[in-house]
A and B are shown apart, each in its own frame.
Chain A
Amino acid sequence: MSDEKLGKVAGNGLISRRHLLKVGASGAGLALSAGALGADQGLSFQIPTWSRQPGPGATAYGARSPFADDLQRLAAQPNPTYPGGGSSRSPLQHLQGTITPNSLHFERHHAGVPNIDPSQHMLVINGLVRQPLAFRYEDLLKYQMVSRIHFLECSGNSGALLRGEIGGSAQSLHGLVSCAEWTGIPLSTLLDEAGVLPEAAWVAAVGADAASMGRSIPLTKALDDVMVALYQNGEAVRPGQGYPMRLFCPGWEGNVSVKWLTQIKVTQEPAQFRDETSKYTDTLQNRSSYQFTFPMGTKSLITSPSGEMTLNQPGIYQITGIAWSGRGSIRQVEVSADGGKTWAEAAIQGHQLDRALTRFTIPWEWNGGDAILQSRATDSRGSIQPTRSDVIASRGTLSFYHNPCIQSWQVGPAGEVRNVYV
């Protein structure tokens, strides 16, 4: 088929995002050899056994199909000198849509997951307030709540690209981002009840895990859109995400959304916790270091085809991926199949919410030759996702947090897809 007929819009096989709408099923079927009959393809039209006998009945708690239960988070090996510490990464290349199932939401723990009895747990607000208060979990459930869909991304996500790591998958390189509907109480409601004093400028949030992990957050943010989240995708926040409650700071580096939240102390200055001085800070080439880098960048990633996948034959593929920004919604995602020489606009599949994952897709014809797939997001403020060299030029390679750079996937002659640097 001629390039024009296929609606080619950029180099190396990218097809107009509108094209498949026009050609419909015939377009999607291009990769099949013409004239193959069902029986020749090994299809059987006998009534299967599961259509001949009733299955088990309804259950109290759901489970996934045994045919689809190999989907797992990727967790690092336990480290005896770091009990409970480490992370697990979402299998981005196998997920669709924009909501991450709670069982596959990424995790990062500093001293393991505490087993908290909510009747023994308290949220204390103290410091520069008229009246220090302690809130019981059962009482918090009675407050008016809000629900918002937001991504959460670990500050260290995609750091591997700045280190120049060889190989890797969407999950191993970028799996520290997930997206959920969070429901909880605006922190401002609880702060108002305690009565914030005029000299206050920060809050210090502390968790009830063994590390009593703490982070300082400017009061402006705390009063703006931070919530004490009690539910994730409709169910009580799971232990790995902070049961019975976590702080949730939309758009900001994951570490400030303190899990197992047990204290909010209103202060004049930041507490200068270890996880906002020693860690989660970025040293520049001139050896000074950025501290308190809060909003995550404008970012996107092709999740399929992606690293460690294989394309089984030349033909048409749906490129798909996710985009997000810590400071707004996604306005546009462009895709390149020639390593960034030419770009085509991808279609947005589903919603484009503020500080939430946005799904994009674009058809692409792989001709069997060399290709380098990239995606580039632009957010509602007009901020454009940088290349890896942009990031290195502006801050060097001494630090690995807060990296939003463009990912390049190379498709080799046998259809194998690898992480590369261009």
Chain B
Amino acid sequence: MFKEFLCSVFFLILAHVPLIANSQESVRLGIPVTEEDLLEFDLIAPPDGSGFPPGGGTAQEGKQIYDVNCAVCHGAGGEGTSGNTVIVGGDMQSEGPPLRTVGSYWPYASTLFDFIRRAMPATAPKSLTNEQVYQVTAYVLFMNGIVEEGTQINGDTIREIEMPNANGFIDRSHIQ
């Protein structure tokens, strides 16, 4: 009986050893990795063009991808099928409440590539290739009258695109 008790205590301690937190302040358990390891993992594509993958595409190439993968929710011309799926049109200076879309509201074109690559199509995010994301990004910009049908969109050219509402924002990040 006593032996059995000892045994079970021993077992308990053993079972818990790997889980006990090490409370020394010098714990440093991060595993060193390289940016190359993260090329597919890191999807951040900011306005300065860093983080954009190789490749590119045009609206001409993107139309078919849009029609097949996006139109069902965003409408054939980006007019949307619900309040939060309108991605074309609008005017920030309109008389009534302005319709805020990629074309009328977004300050950066990079956001479009970044967002489509990480989150769209909503039913199967990350199912498009980088090439297809460039193409469909170009097509959404084209539908908004921001680029020509044949404009090549890639990590270099996307930086140069001036969005209509680029100067429409007031940065309040200093209020913390």
A interface with B by C-beta (< 8 Å): 79, 81-83, 85, 110-111, 124-126, 131-136, 139-145, 190, 193-194, 204, 206, 210-214, 218, 220-221, 263, 265, 267, 269-274, 277-278, 281, 283, 287-295, 398
Contacts and interface: CB of A to CB of B under 8 A. Distances in A.
B144 to A, nearest CB: 13
A250 to B, nearest CB: 11
A125 B30 contact: yes
A124 B38 CA distance: 9
B33 A267 contact: no
A135 B29 contact: yes
A292 B171 contact: yes
B171 A214 contact: no
B162 interface: no
B75 to A, nearest CB: 11
B29 A143 contact: yes
B97 A398 contact: yes
Majority-rule SS of B interface residues: loop
A190 B29 CA distance: 9
A126 B175 contact: no
Given A110-B119, A398-B98, A132 B38 contact: yes
B38 A289 contact: no
A290 B170 contact: yes
B169 A281 contact: yes
Given A142-B21, A210-B125, A294 B33 contact: no
B29 A269 contact: no
Given A110-B119, A271-B44, A287-B93, 6 more contacts: A85-B122, A144-B23, A269-B46, A270-B46, A271-B46, A272-B111
Contacts, number: 166
A222 B71 CA distance: 39
A246 to B, nearest CB: 18
Interface in B114-169: 114-115, 118-119, 122-123, 125-126, 168-169
A5 B119 CA distance: 64
A290 B100 CA distance: 14
A213 B19 CA distance: 31
Contacts of B102: 278
A215 B111 CA distance: 12
A278 B119 contact: no
Interface of B: 19, 21-23, 25, 27-35, 37-38, 41-44, 46-48, 73, 81-82, 84-85, 92-93, 97-98, 100, 102, 105-108, 110-111, 114-115, 118-119, 122-123, 125-126, 168-173, 175-176
30 contacts: A110-B119, A124-B38, A125-B30, A131-B30, A131-B32, A132-B34, A133-B31, A133-B33, A141-B21, A142-B21, A142-B27, A204-B44, A214-B114, A218-B176, A263-B41, A265-B42, A272-B108, A272-B111, A273-B111, A273-B114, A281-B169, A283-B98, A287-B92, A289-B170, A290-B172, A291-B169, A292-B171, A292-B172, A293-B175, A294-B173
Most chain-B CB neighbours within 10 Å: which of A140, A143, A272?
Answer: A272
A319 B28 CA distance: 51
A199 to B, nearest CB: 13
Contact of A81 (B28, B82, B115): B82
Contact of A293 (B29, B114, B119, B172): B172
Given A126-B33, A206-B44, A210-B119, A274 B92 contact: no
Nearest to A144: B23
B39 to A, nearest CB: 11
Given A81-B122, A111-B122, A273-B111, A294 B172 contact: yes
